[in-house]
Amino acid sequence: MKKEEVSIAIVDDNPAANKKTSAALNEIFQLEALKGVKFQLDVYENGKHLIESEKEYDLIVMDYQMPQMNGIEVATKLSKRGVRTRILFLSGYGEIIKPLQQATFIKLTAGFIFKSAPIQEFQHEVKRIIKEILDVHCIKIKHYEEVLNIDSNKFTKVFYETVIDTKKIVTIEIAQKIVYVYTEDDEFLTNISLKDWLPELPSGDFSYANKSCLVNLRYVCSYSSKKINLITKDTLELGRYSKDKFEKSYERYVMREAMK
């Protein structure tokens, strides 16, 4: 299923800046490329109010320098709370660059734009982020964890259902008859076989690294005749019988991405 609605929050202590940013965002959704896309827009006068709302957004457009806590501090609190969102920082000064470089734990930070930048530059960056948000292929998976039953002193399986963005799946691997789904942040145990996983994934995004592992091609940074290196710093064995198919799949994936 693809995402059809975008939720956005503006966080700035300057009412005039909020009004200007709101107008620019409304214009973006009138563009031909985004016509028909629904969006929800909320405005907060400081980061404290955003955190207290407990709402989660696809995109937060946030001033860096604000009273009580700055933008990085707000993002840090959201990250520690487990909130996964893209954040586009606005700043009137270059002072934000160093803090952003140091705040590597804010994984989904989209970047920053100077407030003095032309409105077209802001709209171009926001449009790019929104298109990334909309290009989400989610699947609902049934997974489990093994929990010790104190009465019987045996482990039992407790099942859950979770919606996962397939772009965040790094690998799907089978070991000792258990299928593990590894994402950027989590690990899931499932009963779904590898061959049944493949039809559920976006066409052309995944390939067999070997008979026991499916790899998301967007995480591949290089490969040799025997191994695949991932941007997560992990290494996978490149199977002898999977090699030709993997190479062709990866070549098609790179060409497709280059044409976007």
Write the pLDDT tens digit of every residue in 215-225. 999 999 999 99
For domain 138-258, give the CATH superfamily: LytTr DNA-binding domain (2.40.50.1020)
Are 245 and 206 contacting, i.e. CB atoms less than 8 angstroms apart? no
Rounded distance between C-alpha atoms, residue 17 and residue 54, angstroms: 23
What does the domain layout of the chain look like in residue ranges?
Answer: 5-134, 138-258
pLDDT for position 250: 94
- 145 pLDDT band (50/70/90 cuts)? confident
Region 178-182 average pLDDT: 94
pLDDT for position 260: 55
Nearest-Å Rg of the Cα atoms of the chain is 21
Rounded distance between C-alpha atoms, residue 66 and residue 13, angstroms: 6
Q: How many CA atoms lie within 13 A of 11 on its CB side?
A: 32
Per the DSSP assignment, residues forming a β-bridge with 82 are none
pLDDT for position 56: 87
Rounded to two decimals, what is the model's pTM?
0.57
Q: Of 62-71, 195-204, 236-245, give the range with the top mean pLDDT.
A: 236-245
Rounded distance between C-alpha atoms, residue 91 and residue 88, angstroms: 10
* pLDDT, tens digit (0-9, with 9 covering 90-100), for 89-123: 888 766 666 666 555 445 556 677 888 888 888 88
pLDDT for position 84: 73
- Is 3.40.50.2300 the CATH classification of the domain at 5-134? yes
pLDDT for position 9: 96
Does residue 37 or residue 229 have the better pLDDT? 229
Arithmetic mean of pLDDT over the chain: 85
Residue 1 scores a pLDDT above 50: no
